[in-house]
Amino acid sequence: MAHAVVTRDSEAARSYAAALAPLGLTVVAMPVTRTAPPQDPQALAAALAAEHDAVVCASARAAEALAAAPPHAPIWAVGPATARRLAELGIAAVVPPGARDGATLAAAMIAHGRVAGARILVPRAEDGRDDAIAALRAAGAIVTDVVAYRTVPTPGADPAVAEGRELLATGRAAICAVFAPSQVRALDGILPIHTIATRFIAIGETTAAALAAAGVATAAVASTPTPEGIANAVASVYPQRR
């Protein structure tokens, strides 16, 4: 039996398990990070209560932050996973085709027009990238960015990461899929990442760059940030059994 370690929790890993099963891979969830509330919840509540012309939602976790007080302004979202989570929460969103991350979402908003002078809310992770914020401000938007959640490392002794850690430590994982720079750092804290003998698959170029900075070569990068994109990337380096 070949294993694929996926650095997400068991619920998030289900769609990847379905996508990777045809390749003969059994997915093992290894949630190397956890979501924690913002240090200042009142700042988020105040930002959600204020009037805005648009809201940028760049992750499913940011979508969950909006559920407490859904804004009346149009919500612009990145990718199918974020859109799906918003839909589950009953929140409509604009999902531009080709928007892979915050930067490309901002580019789509700018191309759509009416950004100059617009009041735009960006709920974000505490350590999140500011590419979208910088691009929108450069285009003349009045951006309010507020910490909606924090991403914290899972302790190495946590039972939730035990099976994945064992597979990676013993070289028995065929591949390891990683989804964010914060996960690269967290995984390195659990097990020195340069000692792991497996093929690393990155969800995108930003994560691939984080792996490279940690001294790890990325075997493949997903062309789209989806389970299908990860499966196609895996298939390029781990062919289906015949």
- Tell me the CB-side half-sphere exposure of residue 148, using CA atoms within 13 A: 25
Look up tokens 């390195």; give the residue.
188
Which residues lie below 8 Å from residue 170, measured CB to CB, with a gap of 6+?
Answer: none
The mean per-residue pLDDT over the stretch 92-99 comes to: 90
Does pLDDT of 121 surpass 90?
Answer: yes
For residue 73, give the CATH number of its domain: 3.40.50.10090
Do residues 26 and 44 both lie within one domain? no
The mean per-residue pLDDT over the stretch 89-95 comes to: 93
Q: Last residue of a domain, which of 89, 122, 151?
A: 151
Do residues 49 and 144 both lie within one domain? yes
Q: Is residue 166 one of the residues assigned to a domain?
A: yes
Look up tokens 């509540």; give the residue.
45
Evaluate whether 118 touches 142 at the Cβ level (below 8 Å).
Answer: yes
Look up tokens 């690269």; give the residue.
184
What per-residue confidence (pLDDT) applies to 94?
93
The domain containing residue 134 runs over which residues?
36-151
Tell me the pLDDT tens digit for each residue of 167-180: 999 999 999 999 99
Do residues 147 and 213 both lie within one domain? no
Do residues 59 and 123 both lie within one domain? yes
Q: Letter for the amino acid at 60?
A: A
What's the rounded Cα separation, in Å, for the pair 210 and 129?
A: 13
Neighbours of 151 (CB within 10 A): 21
Tell me the pLDDT tens digit for each residue of 147-167: 999 999 999 999 999 999 999
Tell me the pLDDT tens digit for each residue of 182-195: 999 999 999 999 99
Tell me the pLDDT tens digit for each residue of 58-67: 988 899 989 8
User: What is the average pLDDT score of the chain?
Assistant: 92
What's the rounded Cα separation, in Å, for the pair 60 and 85?
A: 6
Q: Is residue 233 one of the residues assigned to a domain?
A: yes
Does pLDDT of 212 surpass 90?
Answer: yes
Evaluate whether 217 touches 193 at the Cβ level (below 8 Å).
Answer: no
What per-residue confidence (pLDDT) applies to 242?
41
What per-residue confidence (pLDDT) applies to 79?
80
Euclidean distance between the first and final Cα of the chain, in Å? 15
Tell me the pLDDT tens digit for each residue of 29-86: 999 999 999 999 899 889 989 999 999 999 888 999 898 888 889 999 998 888 889 9
Do residues 139 and 59 both lie within one domain? yes
What's the rounded Cα separation, in Å, for the pair 155 and 233?
A: 29
Does pLDDT of 241 surpass 70?
Answer: no
Alpha-carbon dihedral of residues 167, 178, 224, 139, nearest 10 degrees?
180
Number of domains within the chain: 2
Which two structure tokens, joined as six digits, stand for 15?
């769609």
